């Protein structure tokens, strides 16, 4: 493919962020930006002032328990970067086809994503609690223990 396929996520740019530790999902949320430009009324309805970026300082965050999105994040981690412990994936769903696409993958090497300044601000602004969505600390402990057992076997 020479150019990336355009993924139409709806009138407002929408993506999902999935945080995984050794392929286990610790966090999954939807991010939408409605404050930048006009809505994109259809797949090809581009005019001046249209933005397709969902990850902005003014994005709205909602915790979601979307099995398809989380499964894609987990399997992408296992398939592409199993040696990197902590990853976050940006995933988009085409609103017309339902197809999911991994847009980006970011390693978290220097800070814990639940306690980073940007994460804390995002949680406060959106009144969400990343730690308690799925019991992230308990899941992290279990993922680390599972990984240790695998390495010892």
Tens digit of each residue's pLDDT (9 = 90 or more) over 96-114 = 999 999 999 999 877 788 8
pLDDT surpassing 80 at residue 65: yes
Q: 40 in a domain, yes or no?
A: yes
Give the domain range for residue 30: 14-152
Please write down the HEC assignment for all residues of 39-99.
CCCCCCCCCCCECCCCCCCCCEEEECCCHHHHHHHHHHHHHHCCCCCEEEEEEEECCCCCC
pLDDT at 8: 95
pLDDT band at 27 (very low <50, low <70, confident <90, very high): very high
| pLDDT recorded at residue 2 | 61
Residue 5 lies in a domain: no
Question: How many domains would you assign to the chain?
Answer: 1
The CATH number given to whatever domain includes residue 80 is 3.30.470.20
The reply to whether 2 falls in a domain is: no
Q: Indicate the pTM of the whole model.
A: 0.91
């Amino acid at each position: 493919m020479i150019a990336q396929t355009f993924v139409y996520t709806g009138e407002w740019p929408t993506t999902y962020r999935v945080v995984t530790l050794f392929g286990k999902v610790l966090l999954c949320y939807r991010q939408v930006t409605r404050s930048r430009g006009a809505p994109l009324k259809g797949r090809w309805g581009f005019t001046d002032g249209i933005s397709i970026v969902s990850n902005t300082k003014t994005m709205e965050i909602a915790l979601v328990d979307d099995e398809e999105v989380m499964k894609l994040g987990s399997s992408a981690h296992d398939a592409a970067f199993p040696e990197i412990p902590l990853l976050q994936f940006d995933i988009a769903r085409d609103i017309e086809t339902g197809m999911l696409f991994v847009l980006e993958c970011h390693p978290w090497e220097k800070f814990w994503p639940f306690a980073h300044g940007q994460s804390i601000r995002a949680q406060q602004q959106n009144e969400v609690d990343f730690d308690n969505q799925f019991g992230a600390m308990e899941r992290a402990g279990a993922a680390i223990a599972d990984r240790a057992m695998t390495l010892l076997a």
